[in-house]
A and B are shown apart, each in its own frame.
Chain A
Amino acid sequence: MKKNCIAMLLAGGQGSRLYALTQNVAKPSVPFGGKYRIIDFPLSNCANSGIDTVGVLTQYRPLQLNSYIGSGQPWDLDVADGGVYILPPYQSAGEKGSWFSGTANAIYQNMAFIENYDPENVLILSGDHIYKMDYADMLREHLEHDAACTISVLQVSMEEATRFGIMNVGEDGFICEFEEKPKQPKSDLASMGIYIFNWKKLREYLIADENDPNSSKDFGKNIIPNMLNAGEKLWPYRFDGYWRDVGTITSLWDANMDMLSTTLINLYDPTWPISSRSPICPPHFTGENAQIIHSIVTEGCEIDGTVENSVLSSAVKVGTGANIIYSVLMPGAVVEDGATVEYAIVGENTVVHKNAHVGAPPDGTDAWGVATCGPNIEIREGAQVPAGAMIYTSEEV
């Protein structure tokens, strides 16, 4: 069945800069913002933008991602023609199977999936961004300008521009140059890693790139520069809403803290729901000694301590007299009586035993950082986990 536009979501690799949090799960299935996992944002954006066919490309620990996405029903993506598909690397007859060697190669290896739907356009998404975006509006601009590729860009400060892929725009408004992390940026338009390609064009470039032994098979490094060099029309789609890359511990923690403000990103907006697959738990219970200030709390939680400026996912337990300050507690985390968790991320089902202390407030030094405890571990009674620590196993503390 022919589709105007389908989406391919690069759920990617391990997300190694999230360390302990991605030991057993791919980055897109890391819990986020109380109710969500990171992948809920691009999937919900697709559903809200009227894109009903999404291929999710992953090659790292797909089990949890697979069971999380399931039939795609939570995002209304369980449709008859289309839907959401997990696309792992695979073997074909007569060939050795191979891992995805780059973002472009991942799409190349799944050309058969795309051709099934014979789309006019293909939307390429990344699985580690938090934002609400109407892809239909981006597609409209893409078609209006008859572009081979439209790249979503965000205005950043000139200092920040040195950390991004920067698009330089010519007088006609089209992109004339692309620079990866320029030392002397000429423009402040940063690529958000969201592309819409005309499929026929992209197909040509993917095949050509695949045959280039020197290519690293990457959209940013190869496909986009090749298209620019060949004189294709690349249009910048200017996005001015909330957008965060959550590829590092600090940025993940920061973006979680942003969820406490409805002015940065409004998740209560009924016209653009971010959907998730959530377990059905009873409402959260606040006990006699609960004190909850400027925080978000999810169903299934039982709270009898102090919670300030924090994000609590489903079924978190906070014991009597425990303190949770500027922290992110992932689903099922338990903080026992008298324990303190501050400026920290605590992974799924991890138990912080009585009177333990995780993390510390910023002290102004460069050495300070957010403390992180991976999933399914135990922080023993009375233990001290210093600021910036990265705990993988129960034995470390």
Chain B
Amino acid sequence: MKDFHGIIFAYHASPELRELVSVRTAASLPFCGRYRLIDFALSSMMNAGLRDVGVIMQRDYQSLLDHIGSGKAWDMSRKEGGLRILPPFGLPELHTGNYSGTMEALNAVGEYIRDIPQKHVILLLGNLCANIDLTKAKLQHLRSGAPITAICADHTPDGLHHRYVVGEDGFVKTVLFDRVGDGEGLPSLEGYIIDKDLLLSLMDRCKALNLYRFHKDGISMYLNEGGKMGVFVHEGYASVIRTVNAYYQANRDMLCSAKRSQLFPADRPVRTKNHEGVSTYYGAHAVSRRSLVADNCIIEGEIENCIVFSGVRIGKGAKVKDSILMRRCVVGDNCELSHVISDKACTYSAGTVLTGNERLPIVVPKGSTV
């Protein structure tokens, strides 16, 4: 299906992600032992046959560039089209702040969007942790006859979100902004399938009126004028990662087999950049319970309820519980860590004790020595 173009928003770095986004954007947060969050948007698009995808970035994108490279891992390194990195190029010269909203981000790369050869565009968040069956969503969008389809979740996520109230005809009646918890309507995953012409007209109108928000400006304007919007309900795991707690929780959710198989179904594999690897070695006194462990690790101590990335070393007698250890962390002998999110390449000297708690995990910044 060559009629669909993908756009991924990878510029978000919400302050609630604290130290985790001091060196990267939310889309390039390491996740579940070997992935980056953007792998889910890219793989969802890849599995639905999309090959032309633009990734909107703004700043701190070096880690993301490293990760996605030419797009080869997702078959998006093509002779024509393929993966395109989109830093801002259409903004007034002195613009130095963050994008104030998604409409502004889209207008900053407006020329690219105008040149999209396909008729339909799929918009996804780079920090959305969900494996969406876009093949099904595309079909539903084409059949509904509406020029825009909102991708919604089948369960209410934690934190603020927008909800769409759907009428008996299956089309959206109203949108409810900034809700928390269950309520009327379906929670939005802020992903859309939209006809390119409609997207452009909303972008142009918002630009002319100096409006920059996608939902509160663009979508409201469209719905208020009686525009038709369909809804596609994504069945299965979904979480939008905007806070440290959401990040911590989503990783820990993957220790549950049922949730893991929803995010990693056999028929829609999640691709990522491949690292060189050796299998993980467990020593004579190692213990590993309810944990996910990537390749290249050497584990001599105990881990429980942990997510362990590639290249981690866990020393003898060390006990690590309820923690996330990113690539190349070294935990010395007899350390005790619990509820710790350890960014890449942190070193814990022998005997270190660090204890966070469920609601307030300790975030140890990249490259720290403790």
Q: List the interface of chain A (C-beta within 8 A of B).
A: 33-35, 74, 260, 262, 267-268, 273-276, 278, 280, 282-288, 290-299, 302, 307, 311-313
Report whether B294 and A283 are in contact in the complex, using a CB–CB cutoff of 8 Å: yes
Docked Cα-Cα span, A291 to B287, in Å, equals 6
Partner of A297, one of B255, B282, B290: B282
Which of B149-157, B265-273, B362-370 contacts the other chain? B265-273
- Chain A positions within 8 Å of B284 at CB level: 293-294
Partner of A286, one of B276, B293, B298: B293
B332 interfacial contact with A, CB 8 Å? no
Contact residue among B281, B290, B293, B307 (Cβ-Cβ distance under 8 Å from A288) = B290
Q: Are B32 and A278 in contact (CB under 8 A)?
A: no
> Given the complex of chains A and B, what is the CA–CA distance between A307 and B284 in angstroms?
11
User: Are A267's CB and B278's CB within 8 A?
Assistant: yes
Chain B positions 280-297 with a Cβ under 8 Å from a chain A Cβ: 280-296
B296-A34 in contact (CB<8A): no
Residues of B near A34 (CB, < 8 A) are 278-279
**Contact between B295 and A299, CB atoms less than 8 A apart:** yes
Give the residues in chain B near A293, CB-CB below 8 Å: 282-286
Instruction: List CB contacts (< 8 Å) of B177-229 with chain A.
Output: none
Q: Give which listed residue, A275, A282, A296, contacts B279 with CB less than 8 A.
A: A296
- C-alpha gap A313/B270 in the complex (Å): 19
Q: How large is the interface on B (under 10, 10 to 19, 20 to 34, 35 or more residues)?
A: 35 or more
List B residues 247-281 near A (Cβ within 8 Å): 254-255, 257, 260, 264, 269-272, 274, 276-281
- 26 A-B pairs within 8 Å (CB atoms) are namely A34-B279, A35-B278, A35-B295, A260-B281, A268-B278, A278-B277, A280-B34, A280-B274, A282-B32, A283-B33, A283-B292, A283-B307, A285-B260, A286-B290, A290-B288, A292-B288, A293-B282, A293-B285, A296-B278, A296-B279, A296-B280, A297-B282, A297-B293, A298-B295, A302-B257, A311-B279
- Taking CB atoms, residues of chain A closer than 8 Å to B276 are 273, 275
Q: How far is the CB of B104 from chain A (nearest CB, A)?
A: 35
Contact partners of B307 in chain A: CB under 8 A: 283
**Which partner residue on chain A sits nearest B284 by CB separation?**
A294
User: Is B231's CB within 8 Å of the partner chain A?
Assistant: no
Give the 10 A-B residue pairs with the shortest CB-CB distance, closest first: A34-B279, A283-B33, A296-B279, A286-B288, A283-B294, A283-B292, A298-B279, A292-B282, A267-B278, A273-B276
- Considering only residues 327-346 of chain B, those with a C-beta below 8 Å from chain A are none
The 8 Å CB contact of A280, one of B271, B278, B282, B296, is B271
Per the bound structure, the CA–CA distance linking A34 and B295 in Å amounts to 10
Interfacial chain B residues near A262, Cβ < 8 Å: 281
Q: How many A-B residue pairs have C-beta atoms within 8 angstroms? Tell me.
A: 101
The answer to whether B292 and A284 touch across the interface, beta carbons within 8 angstroms, is yes
| Set of chain B residues within 8 Å of A268, measured between Cβ atoms | 278, 296, 298
CB <8 Å contact, A280 and B289: no
The chain B residue sitting closest to A274, CB to CB, is B278
Q: Is the CB of A298 within 8 A of B281?
A: no
Assess whether B76 is interfacial by the CB under 8 Å rule: no
Chain A CB within 8 A of B326 CB: no
Once the chains bind, are A287 and B280 in contact (CB under 8 Å)? no
Cα–Cα distance between A291 and B290 once the two chains are bound (Å): 11
Is B175 interfacial (CB-CB < 8 Å)? Answer: no
Chain B residue nearest in CB terms to A276: B277
Residues B292 and A285 in contact, CB atoms below 8 Å apart: yes
Find out whether the CB atom of B289 lies under 8 angstroms from the CB atom of A35. no
Question: In the bound complex, what is the Cα–Cα distance between A288 and B33 (angstroms)?
Answer: 19
Contacts of A280 in B (CB 8 A): 34, 73, 269-272, 274
B73 / chain A contacts, CB cutoff of 8 Å? 280
Give the residue name and chain of the A residue nearest to B283 (CB).
Answer: A294
**Contact (Cβ within 8 A) B291 A286:** yes
Which residues does chain B contribute within 8 Å of A33, judged by CB atoms?
A: 279
Contacts of B274 in A (CB 8 A): 74, 278, 280
Q: How far is the CA of A328 from the CA of B239 in the complex (A)?
A: 38
Asked whether any CB of chain A lies closer than 8 Å to the CB of B125, the reply is no
Kindly state whether residue B308 has any CB partner on chain A within 8 Å: yes
Contact with A along B19-42 (1 / 0, CB 8 A): 000000000000011100000000
Is there an interface contact between A295 and B289, defined as CB atoms closer than 8 Å? no
Which of A283, A287, A291 has the most B CB atoms < 10 Å from its CB? Answer: A283
